[in-house]
Chains A and B, each alone.
Chain A
């Protein structure tokens, strides 16, 4: 297996290997000299800003964008200001930080997207240095201004500039600095001479690394790890301090014996591995440091100028001609490929090789694994190791061995094998020279397939993206649909094609694909100034609600209204209605509503609470007299003054008449009559009863003894006898005017009978008066009357006489066994005899 381990270098307890990813496709005459370079992590694109070769003032730098394999994607003359820093966002946009604080954003293909500023003060003070960093909040920018102040933006998609506190005594550019993202906070760590400071939102705190040796002097280089967990410091004495990012824990300190300042320093460390290590680069030399054993380092000589690109699990080295990957050899690969390894995986690989040679040695190896009971483990190791390999041949060799081993196992769960095969297929496809995204399996898992698809889409590699979606069986909604949407958004920007053609092409390709948001595509078309195309595209949108905002934006408000109604979302209807109200003149607005009853009733609701007068206009327009009548009635109750109230009611009555609602008209008229009566009464007798109901007015009159007025009202308003009797009875009882009550009872035959007389007296605790009326009560109610006055004997008498079972039970229920013994007996006897019959 010598050839696999050929590129391995031992360092401490682990091996490191350098894998060549690509021979660069670009043709750079001067290599990477005289240019700014920015390479995005996760195998992202590379941007180069080449200084002009002639140093004439009119010469402009050239901006070039390449894939990781060096295929050109864009190239154009840089005509804006002086660029201080290049960098990539997490969504593959290029950021160019200019000296005056402006940040220009370009896409992968070099088309300008937008710009923003890192603060107006920078126009004056200029940007001295800038760094672009990634954190859980997105891509951020930190700049150091000419006034030696740091300005931060943690997420460029949502710019909130933060000026960090001043560093006391800072009179020049710090010797080095970096951005750290810790505990959900973004901080700046800077060094001036031997002093270290941490700058956060509120304060500048001096810090000192734990166990930093005293001979260490000026710190000239600093590097945070990919996850911001660790930090490495390089001093001008050649010492390297490695430790936790909070500086509290030291991992190790190494003397490199190199006094020249390095050009770059980066962590090279696979998560979960026990051996964090740092790569330091000088112009022609690369040095490797691991912390486990001091002074165990190895170096590579570099052919020419290079750049280090730190990754999650490795470091990439880009030079003028090559692109390489430097990483720790995973434990499992080590176990399989290490010379003379007896690990089950190694034996299985050997067994498979013998098997291919048709040698019986295969059986011997297999037996050996089985004796150790390690076949399952062997298969697992081979599968896992395959995932770490870049060369498809090696991957295949390992997977074949695994597959071979699997044959001798029952109940082996196939998931890991299947998913590794799948992942590798995807990875090999994107690692391909033509695509140029050299992801490791670990990086791929971390970034997720969703993001990978996005990146392919940004590169306009639509067919490959769709292929991957289909291959991985990603639900359409998250996969193919998304890709197609991006494709369509890109398509609508192709100005040379006619609207019809594009609309047809889009609908043909997208068709009924689930989860396509045509409104997003239409919005893009509209942004490009293609309103007609946008409208055509919107017609394909199945979600009517989604169409509304864009239609409004494009001033197709009528269409927006009908779409809003179609969606059933009343809030959306309201939104369009308020929009229309502001856009149109009143007449047109009302006419529009009239054709949309649902919108109209919603608007009425709105007016009811917010704009009463508009409501009236609406009813007027529709000749809705009934509602107008109601409107005036409602209005009358909001008026304090009686005159205005009356005129409201008059209006109401007129409207009710027009609506042919006789009852309401008459009732309103009566109310006006009543109000007039009440007013007169108030004026004449000083009794306040305006606004009371007829019933209450009558009650009031009877209580104060204005019997004549009461009689008059009773006649005028044709109050039914029954009600009037109840009313008078109650009023008299309330006054305890028993004499008048008795007189009243004799005026004529009571229309309500006489039980109410009994009840009302009892209610006012006058048993004596109550008894007077018992005899007048009809036979059917007599039992109740007797009981009411507490005369159980009388009640029993009547009940027995009437031989009514129900009444007998009723009396019984009021009797207590002890005191009413005799009555109970009599009742029971009667019941018994009645029962016999």
Chain B
């Protein structure tokens, strides 16, 4: 194991070699135009056409906008802008007479000569107060503007009550809801982007997000047909399934007559597998997220490596704005490498570089007018491919700088020791050193929690030691964060029962000694040895079924269950020979890119027999996961 790890620090790919950036000027604008046109085409590439969902959402948005006749300005709850970007670009809003956009903040609204002001908000009381403030401070002397409120994803009586108390409900022309539960992120990926879902469910016993999940799944079934089989593991999963069955009963009359697209729904609680999100993801996309964090399909990167060297200009003005890249399967190269282990990315990029060079060389062979014409017609596509290659070469370099550092290596070593069960029952010196050096708190918490999870809890002495160290170093205010982690089960005291993690690890084969990073044959490649528990459960459900692992399932928290939903006669699917089953895996409380990569790997396995579509409350990584559980207490001045 150590040897393979060593590859991270010693293996070097010379990315520079394949860099074509300096030869031909890039044709950025062209790509932007063509991207704009087929903005969401990638959503329909997958086995299930998720563009239907997006189109339904767009239609509803247009209908609402048309309800407010005349010119309009939108006031945004800032949190919503990201997710909305995936549904509709500004151009769509503009077509419907949206002339201005503002961010929601207290005080008087900026001047805008429009007929309508529309607030796009989540149903949060704090936001209602701001809206009330906005409406109340409206300039009485100017021509009156019509106010509308659009709740996303659902209207709330509580919020309307608050608006009423504040005396502004009467001034609102329209109060409506825009049901946006599941947002399509990619051809096989849906997310609710509900940041605090895990925290609400496990810390605060607030099941709002689960209600939205159930509603979202009902919408999905209205568009893609009833899902005949539901499996689940965990308390929240049980709750969601119960609500779904209930809602189905309630709407018994309006059953959809659609041939079911999904065969199975698997609901998984995040707390069934707390280990996976804590581990450092080692796929390309996973690492981009770990290091730079991907938000709503975009990542912001340090600009230095993206400087365009133009001839004669030298490198006088380096860009200072972060480089923003959109990451989804619409980009051919990215779709190819995103799910690879990072150690296999270099080879893939270099192979791609050769192909592109060869394609450009073709021009010398083009002799006749016809040949030249054909070459020219391919040019935009080739140039796009080249820009894409240049971008990802730069990204890979940035990441390589980090993965080859000692700090990264040491951290990974400890993680892998924990996952393989080495010395998990005593205080770890590396963690100790990290605390002493006052490394970022989240890093410490990730490691400590990981140790706790891999040891089925820590001994009192060890636990208290860590907690004390953390409080002394990072401040007493974190005592509440520690409490939260304990409440969520990420950090716990080992009780009398023996540590069952080794049993789970062995039965589910969570650690694979010989994980092949270049040509993987098992999902464990996404963490270079560790096979994510959640995905293993998914894999075993498809074959040979959960009955074979009853014992282990009992060790994991929460009930496991199976439900069947009756289909109207005539809608039973007749499977073609060799046609794969489709399973929708719903992660309640978040999913990591590495887990997604692992599921995609399973989808692509030749004899897998099942393809997966992934849905979640939020795309997470260890850092954002821990962050969502932290209690923010500011030290008073």
Contacts and interface: CB of A to CB of B under 8 A. Distances in A.
A806 B472 contact: no
A722 interface: yes
Interface string A714-734: 000101101101110010000
Nearest to A661: B483
Interface stretch (A414-422, A498-506, A688-696): A688-696
B207 A568 contact: yes
Contact of A722 (B432, B474, B479, B637): B432
Interface stretch (A79-87, A232-240, A554-562, A638-646): A638-646
Contacts of A813: 9-10, 12
Contact of A663 (B464, B469, B473): B464
A423 interface: no
Contacts of A516: 253
A268 to B, nearest CB: 35
Interface-centre pick from B6, B208, B249 (highest chain A CB count, 10 A): B208
A119 interface: no
A650 to B, nearest CB: 14
A693 B635 CA distance: 10
Contact of A598 (B125, B207, B214, B432): B207
Given A575-B158, A598-B205, A720-B432, A693 B636 contact: no
A476 interface: yes
Nearest to B161: A578
A417 B292 CA distance: 66
A726 B474 CA distance: 15
B458 to A, nearest CB: 12
> At the interface, is chain B mostly helix, strand, loop or mixed?
helix
A186 interface: no
Interface string A147-180: 0000000000000000000000000000000000
B433 interface: yes
B10 A693 contact: no
B572 interface: no
B252 A601 contact: no
B254 A515 contact: yes
Interface string A490-527: 00000000000000000000001111100000000000
Contacts of B469: 720, 723
Interface stretch (A10-18, A218-226, A602-610): A602-610
Contact of A609 (B10, B126, B239, B433): B126
B211 A568 contact: yes
A76 interface: no
Contacts of B157: 571-572, 574-575
A810 interface: yes
Interface in B597-622: none
Contacts of B172: none
A726 B161 contact: no
Given A568-B246, A571-B154, A477 B253 contact: yes
A368 interface: no
A752 B433 contact: yes
A699 to B, nearest CB: 9
A691 to B, nearest CB: 4
B203 to A, nearest CB: 10
Interface stretch (B82-90, B434-442, B525-533): B434-442
Nearest to A569: B211
Contact of A601 (B206, B251, B464): B206
A642 to B, nearest CB: 9
A630 interface: yes
B472 A719 contact: yes
A342 interface: no
Contacts of A722: 432-433, 436
Contacts of A601: 204-206
Interface stretch (A94-102, A249-257, A664-672): A664-672
Contact of A633 (B239, B474, B480, B637): B480
A722 B469 CA distance: 11
A71 interface: no
Given A695-B474, A723-B435, A723-B473, A809 B10 contact: yes
A181 B211 CA distance: 45
Nearest to A718: B468
Contact of A634 (B208, B214, B437, B480): B480
Contacts of A477: 253-254
Contact of A806 (B6, B123, B252, B633): B6
Contacts of A515: 251-254
B366 interface: no
Contacts of B251: 515
A695 B473 contact: yes
Contacts, number: 150
B605 to A, nearest CB: 35
B467 interface: yes
A183 to B, nearest CB: 12
Contacts of A569: 211
Interface in B472-516: 472-477, 479-480, 483
B635 A695 contact: no
**Interface footprint category on A:** 35 or more
Interface residues of B, number: 56
A408 interface: no
A481 interface: yes
Interface string B329-343: 000000000000000
Contact of B252 (A514, A610, A630): A514
Given A475-B253, A693-B474, A806-B6, A571 B436 contact: no
A189 B251 CA distance: 49
A543 interface: yes
Nearest to A477: B253
A25 interface: no
Contact of A630 (B126, B438, B471, B483): B483
A794 to B, nearest CB: 19
Interface string B436-465: 111000000000000000000000000010
Contacts of A512: 252
Interface in B91-146: 123, 125-126
A193 interface: no
B184 to A, nearest CB: 25
A597 B205 contact: yes
A571 B636 contact: no
B195 to A, nearest CB: 15
A542 interface: yes
Contacts of A568: 207, 210-211, 214, 239, 242-243, 246
A645 B12 CA distance: 55
Contacts of B391: none
B579 interface: no
Contacts of A606: 125
Interface in A572-589: 572, 574-575, 578
A726 B429 CA distance: 13
A570 B250 contact: no
B433 A630 contact: no
B221 interface: no
Contacts of A112: none
B156 interface: yes
18 contacts: A476-B253, A513-B253, A514-B252, A542-B250, A568-B207, A568-B239, A569-B211, A571-B208, A633-B479, A633-B633, A634-B480, A637-B633, A663-B468, A671-B471, A692-B475, A719-B472, A806-B6, A813-B10
Q: Nearest 8 A-B pairs (CB), nearest first?
A: A514-B253, A515-B253, A477-B253, A601-B205, A726-B436, A693-B475, A671-B476, A723-B436
Given A602-B205, A663-B468, 18 more contacts: A476-B253, A477-B254, A515-B252, A542-B249, A567-B246, A568-B211, A569-B211, A570-B211, A601-B206, A634-B633, A637-B634, A670-B471, A671-B471, A674-B476, A694-B471, A722-B432, A725-B436, A809-B10
Interface of A: 475-477, 481, 512-516, 542-543, 567-572, 574-575, 578, 597-598, 601-602, 604-606, 609-610, 626, 630, 633-634, 637-640, 645, 663-664, 667-668, 670-671, 674, 691-696, 717, 719-720, 722-723, 725-727, 730, 752, 806, 809-810, 813
